[in-house]
Amino acid sequence: MSEKRYQISPIELVQWAEPLFGDEESPAQGISQELVASYEAAAGFRLPASLRDYLLTCGRASLNDMLHPMHIPDKDAKPFGGHLTFSHDYIEDAMLDFRRHNETGNEEQERLWALPKERWEELLDNFLLFWRENQGCWYAGIRKQDLDQPDPPVYFNDQDTMYHWAPFANSIHSFLLSTILENLEEETGSDEIEDPAKIQEVLSQGGVDFQRLCEPYPFPGGRFCHTCLDTGTNTLYVYGEEAENRPAYLKVIKPWEED
């Protein structure tokens, strides 16, 4: 009987999926320790452990950029260009562009711009941006004051502006898991099963223990979905509990069968 692994971590998910669904049939590659350490020294802080571990293990995986691209560290902590960047850097860049064209911002912007940049956090949180929507409609970020937490919550700019932010995920782990699963579902076109009887039938046929599948992940936000990886058949079962305006569902992700 093949091994069943329940509630696999984002790192385990990428290590399994990258050789099967990535651009090349190779293990997920990480960003070097030297690059991460160089970034942290230049930026003046240490990345949260959950993000740091993911970068070191899976930072170069093609799955990261399959749908919504990830930002990676620059050795000198330079912003922009797909690198880790703070939201205040984007605001400053826009402000300078306004000034070059002799334009003014709205009242909120002008109130912020009237202060030196080092005082902007008195009026507006600063977010380390580490992922973005593929057309730049939203950015995912970690509040600067939360960077000393091992697995802090994640926010996003919910109004397509760097001035307004809303909760996105309860932890980096839950954000990574949902993002990589979304990338995989987009790549594989996996169907969503909502019929309760059919869900139980599929799980029974696959030898999946439903009670174990329903156990939560051990991180904040760990009840939003549940996983079971069958290593023998390379099949991933993703179960979502019933939630407001959404029934319980099951998705089955596996490689395409060759003719």
**How many structural domains are present in the chain?**
2
Phi/psi of residue 155, each to 5°? -120, 165
Residues 84 and 166 in one domain: yes
Would 215 be classed as within a structural domain? Answer: yes
Would 42 be classed as within a structural domain? Answer: no
Closest CA to 138 of 127, 125, 123: 127
Residues 156 and 84 in one domain: yes
- Return the higher-pLDDT residue of 246 and 180: 180
Residues 74 and 154 in one domain: yes
What is residue 69's predicted lDDT score, i.e. its pLDDT?
Answer: 93
Would 45 be classed as within a structural domain? Answer: no
Pick the last residue of a domain from 171, 195, 226. Answer: 171
Would 29 be classed as within a structural domain? Answer: no
Would 37 be classed as within a structural domain? Answer: no
The answer to whether the beta carbons of residues 156 and 165 sit under 8 Å apart is yes
Would 103 be classed as within a structural domain? Answer: yes
Task: Report pLDDT digits (tens) over 85-126.
Answer: 999 999 999 999 998 999 888 999 999 999 999 999 999 999
Residues 121 and 94 in one domain: yes
- Whether the model clears a pTM of 0.85, i.e. scores above it, the answer is yes
Whether 81 has a pLDDT exceeding 90, the answer reads: yes
- Boundaries of domain holding 221: 4-21+177-253
Closest CA to 177 of 110, 227, 211: 227
Pick the last residue of a domain from 171, 190, 216. Answer: 171
